[in-house]
Amino acid sequence: MAQFGYKNEIIDNYVNEFTSRIVAETGIPSDRYHLGKIILQSLKDDPDFVLQIDAGPGESETNGSMLKRSIQCATWFRNLGLKTGDTIILMAPNHQDQPVPFYAALYLGVAIAAIDRFLGVNELKNTFNIIKPKIIFCQSEKVQEVQKAVAILNLDSKIVSFDTSPDTVSFSEMLQRHSDDVDVENFKPADFDPEDTIALLISTSGTTGLPKSAALTHMNFAANGPYMCAFAKKLPPTRSALLVAPLQWLSVLLHYIFSSFFKYTRIQSSHTLTTEHILEIIEKYEPTYMILSPTMMTTLLNAAKKANSDFSCYEVIYLGGSAVPKNLVEELRIMAPNAIVVDVYGMSEVGSVVFHSVDSPVGSSGKPFAHLQYKLVHVETGEEIKEPNRNGEVWIKSRGGFKGYYNNPEATAEGLSKDGWFMTGDMMYRDEEWNFYFVERIKLLLKYRNHQISPVELEDVIRQHPGVQDVAVTSLPDAECGDLPVACVIPRLGAHLTEAEIKDLVKEKLTDTKQLRGGVIFLKELPLTTSTKVHRRKLKEIAMEHLRIST
């Protein structure tokens, strides 16, 4: 569509110069996209630089320490027989140990799947069945549930606890066993094709109700990821970034990869991230960069106002993950007067931000980048929309292309056009100045705080109740939490259902983040489109009207 796009020469020149050093040493041209070699060189370049801080206990770690521990872990992986193309799972809070196997896997071409650490046995089973991990890293309180899910599938997965567990081996114990094998100076990452080798499996929920994992290669992240710092006017682009979301978020994955590369410090916490704790971290460490969802930011902003907290330390605040209210951007610009505050549109399937939003109007997702291709497509006719101010589905082509969903050819076929465009499922339009504006999600996915929810997964559970004839799940908007799931239920003739019965069923089957916080509505029929599908927009209107009447 667009024959132009935003470029940042500071970022482009730095990336080219850095990766050219790696290629000059190895003699392999594709190594400019090898994340493992990029990270390894980044850690070696400045061993005294503070890479990460755990604000809970107040501990910090340098590049040099991470270099040694990650090579130690990679050596252990090799001794276990892990090789390029294998997979591991990480499901833990953002503590100092989690990046160690993360980097080790990237050195060897082992794919990493970061998943929600609060999933129950049923959900773990579905996820493990897709990913088939060689090793699962978790905390001690989840070990038994992980073991149950692995046993159900009869997988030969090694389970490692980051902390001490009586039921399995600990991470520190495994590193200690292989401490004598470490040769930091002579360690060599694996050689592989970065365009084909998967770096990360990013969990998303499909409309089938089952989890799916977007497969992103080393090239996807190396070529597209640096534009998470497209705001840069200097190097390093920023001093420190506060990580508030869990690792399964794209923004945190990008920080894990590029903080060492761009030489800024990650500030995180292994303690529970209450709003009070986050505000304490901001006051003590004065981070300069943050990426946060609008719902989480709304909660944090309300708490900050009450506590009279100061956000003047920030240089950049990105808001993304769902639609961003204009008033939130305006409030933040008052609270953080020194910061660039923008609505950022990123996608797991692209592996980075998709539009440059720094200079765009409030409410816009931004303008096109030069390294991506874009087009708007009419949802019903499939024709490309070339005129401004007309709604269409955004299609994207990124460097290296999108390889699809891991072990899921059906979902891949639904998400990719025959000529390789990723069909985002998002309705947008552009103005005459090529600013793109988000309209709505075509897909059904709901988002509660940091967690994605498939309405169909909830519907499948509720339909198990013998008194339910049919059900459709929608949501109510909440400024702090995002989407609150609402079940619209049609009872079977003669059944006497109660809201508590439906809620209890969901509570029994699914994790806490997927509960029916918006309530249960009993209907005589579901609204349908002319093609006899559930009319999701009318369903939401019914839920909103029910809320209005009940309050």
**Which pLDDT tens digit goes with each residue over 301-358?**
989 989 999 899 999 999 987 677 778 888 899 999 999 999 999 999 999 999 999 9
Which of 135, 109, 262 minimizes the C-alpha distance to 193?
Answer: 109
Task: Please report which residue ranges of 352-463 form alpha helices under DSSP H.
Answer: 409-415, 455-462
User: Are both 9-423 and 446-550 of the same fold?
Assistant: no
Q: Which residues contact 418 (CB under 8 A, 6 or more apart)?
A: none
User: Per CATH, the architecture of 446-550 is what?
Assistant: 2-Layer Sandwich (3.30)
Q: Is the pLDDT reported for residue 207 higher than 50?
A: no
pLDDT of residue 334: 93
pLDDT per residue as tens digits for the range 474-522: 999 998 899 999 999 999 888 999 999 999 999 999 999 999 999 999 9
pTM, rounded to two decimals: 0.84
Report domain extents, the chain. Answer: 9-423, 446-550
The CATH number of the structural domain formed by 9-423 is 3.40.50.12780
- For CA atoms 156, 160, 164, 169, give the dihedral sign: positive
Tell me how far CA of residue 434 lies from CA of 8, 316, 387, in angstroms: 18, 23, 10
Report the b/e string of 488-514 with b at 16+ CB within 10 A: bbbbeeeeebeeebbbebbeebbbebb
Average pLDDT over residues 76-92: 96
Over residues 361-410, the pLDDT tens digits come to 888 999 999 999 999 999 878 899 999 999 999 999 998 899 999 999 99
| Alpha carbons 482 and 420: distance in angstroms, whole number | 32
Q: What span, in angstroms and rounded, lies between the C-alpha atoms of 551 and 548?
A: 5
- Our measurement of the distance from residue 469's CA atom to the centroid of its chain's CA atoms, rounded to an integer in Å, reads 35
pLDDT in tens, 159-176: 999 999 999 999 999 988
